[in-house]
Amino acid sequence: MFTKSLSLSVLLLVFLLNAQAENLDVQQFMIKSDASTKVLDAKSELTMILENEDNQQRIRKLTAFTKLKNDGVSNQRILRFLAPADIKGTVTLLIEQTDQDDDMWIYLPSLKKNRRLVSDNKRDSFVGSDLTFGDLIGHKPSEWNSTLQKEDTFEGKPVYVIESLPKDESVKTHTGYSKRLILIDKQNAVALKTDYWDESGQFLKTIQVSDVRLVDVDRSKYQFMDLNAQNHQNHHKTSLHFDNYKVNQNLTDSLFTPTALEKE
């Protein structure tokens, strides 16, 4: 009798999980995932480690500032390099735009001036790392056709496995990606692992995050403290580690302007 009851319970659980997956509005879930790590504002210190196929490493130190725009959806981000000497003073400003191309600026201390980047630069490597400018800005859910492939577990967490394909050729061209396969935590909607395919359809790289923390309880916002990216074509790796991550710092909009990039 006990075994029969247990079997019925398992079948009921499987039925409920399948029903949940069938009722999942994938597009809305992708929007939720996109917003899951967008805090009102934050500042932090970052360590970036670049590693080539010969296991040689370069270490960079940065400060990062983020702030949501008034629309509550689009993010602004400044990354300022502190070390080593060959990149110290380089600053990038990345601003999401909901209904137009994102704004991207870079300040190069050797030239002592700002340079505005164009849409095609979103696919470019961010200062030699395995992350693109587009990866850092974020990929708008509205520009991708996303479908649920299956449910799974990843490092002990229940996840949705979602395939995202660019809605048109311009999205593919600007991002450099023909497909993304994303493992998203069911509970907090944070993307834990993403596989990327290049424009020609070849498997390109994997980005994985860990040490995900609830950083704003009232707004249910999360932040990963570690990120690891691996390029499967050139065997290059990039890791990012966040230190002293602090939210709700009352950062001003004036910090996120091209003219502010030249200031220390």
Nearest to 226 by CA among 214, 237, 208, 210: 210
Assess whether pLDDT exceeds 80 at residue 2.
no
Q: Per-residue pLDDT averaged across 255-263, rounded?
A: 87
Domain 26-260 sits in CATH at 2.50.20.10
Contact 92/106 with Cβ under 8 angstroms? yes
Q: Per-residue pLDDT averaged across 28-39, rounded?
A: 97
pLDDT at res. 19? 45
Question: How many helices (H) and strands (E) would you count in the chain?
Answer: 4, 13
Assess whether pLDDT exceeds 80 at residue 142.
yes
Indicate the pTM of the whole model. Answer: 0.89
Average predicted confidence (pLDDT) for the chain: 91
Residues whose CB is less than 8 angstroms from the CB of residue 143 and which lie 6 or more positions away in sequence, other chains included: 166, 167, 171
Strands in the chain per DSSP E: 41-51, 57-68, 75-83, 91-95, 103-108, 113-117, 144-154, 157-166, 177-185, 191-198, 203-216, 221-231, 237-247
For the record, the structure tokens of 97 come out as: 């735009």
CA atoms within 13 A on the CB side of 160: 26
Q: Which of 7-11, 14-18, 183-187, 260-264 has the lowest mean pLDDT?
A: 14-18
For the record, the structure tokens of 77 come out as: 């981000």
pLDDT at res. 17? 47
Q: Categorize the per-residue pLDDT at 262 as very low, low, confident or very high, splitting at 50, 70 and 90.
A: confident
- Residue 93 pairs with which residues in a beta bridge? 78, 105
pLDDT at res. 81? 96
**Which residue's structure tokens are 């040490």?**
211
Contact 192/159 with Cβ under 8 angstroms? yes
Q: Which of 112-121, 165-174, 204-213, 226-235 has the lowest mean pLDDT?
A: 112-121
* pLDDT tens column, 181-208: 999 999 999 999 999 999 999 999 999 9
Query: What does each C-alpha distance from 147 to 112, 178, 201 come to in angstroms?
Result: 46, 15, 18
Give the separation between CA 208 and CA 189, rounded to whole angstroms. 14
**Which residue's structure tokens are 């909607």?**
189
Q: What is the DSSP string of 8-42?
A: HHHHHHHHHHHHHHHT--HHHHHHHHHHTT--SEE
CB-neighbour burial class of residue 106 (10 A; exposed 0-12, middle 13-18, buried 19+): buried
**Which residue's structure tokens are 């302007």?**
257
**Residue extents of the structural domains in the chain:** 26-260
* pLDDT tens column, 122-134: 999 999 999 999 9
